[in-house]
Amino acid sequence: MVYNLFTEGFKMGTWDSGLKHMYAIDNLKKEINEIEYVLSNLIMNDDVYSNTMSHKETGVVYDLTVLTNKVNRLKDKMDEHIQDN
C-alpha cells in the first residue's frame, strides 16, 4: 500500500526519508492486520468475566487486553510516522 507522505512541505532530498516512513507505515499496518485476523478467529471462553478467548482452530488462549493494547500501540506508532513527515 502506498501512502501520500509528500505533502506541500515536501523538499527535494527528503525522498529517502519519506520512503522509510512509507515502508514503516506499511509494516505496522501489516502487523495490525495480522492481529485483527487472529482476533476475528477467537471464540469466547466459558468464563464470562475473563479477558481471554480461544482460537477456534488451534485452541490457543489469547488475552484480549494484551492484543488490544498492542494494536493501539501500533496505531500510535503509525500516526507518529504520518505526522513526522
Sheet order of strands, 52-55 included = 42-44, 52-55, 61-63
Q: What is the pLDDT along the chain (85 residues), one digit of tens a residue?
A: 555 555 666 565 566 777 888 899 999 999 999 999 999 999 987 776 778 899 999 989 999 999 999 999 999 999 888 887 6
3-class secondary structure, 85? coil
Q: In this structure, is residue 69 part of a structural domain? A: yes
Give the per-residue pLDDT at 83.
82
Distance CA 44, CA 47 (A): 8
Q: In this structure, is residue 63 part of a structural domain? A: yes
Q: Which residues lie closer than 8 Å to 56 by C-beta, 6 or more apart?
A: 41, 42, 43
Give the per-residue pLDDT at 12.
55
Q: In this structure, is residue 1 part of a structural domain? A: no
Q: In this structure, is residue 77 part of a structural domain? A: yes
User: The domain containing residue 77 runs over which residues?
Assistant: 15-84
Phi/psi for 43 (5° steps) reads -120, 155
Q: In this structure, is residue 3 part of a structural domain? A: no
What cell does 44 get?
469466547
Q: How many domains does the chain have?
A: 1
Q: In this structure, is residue 29 part of a structural domain? A: yes
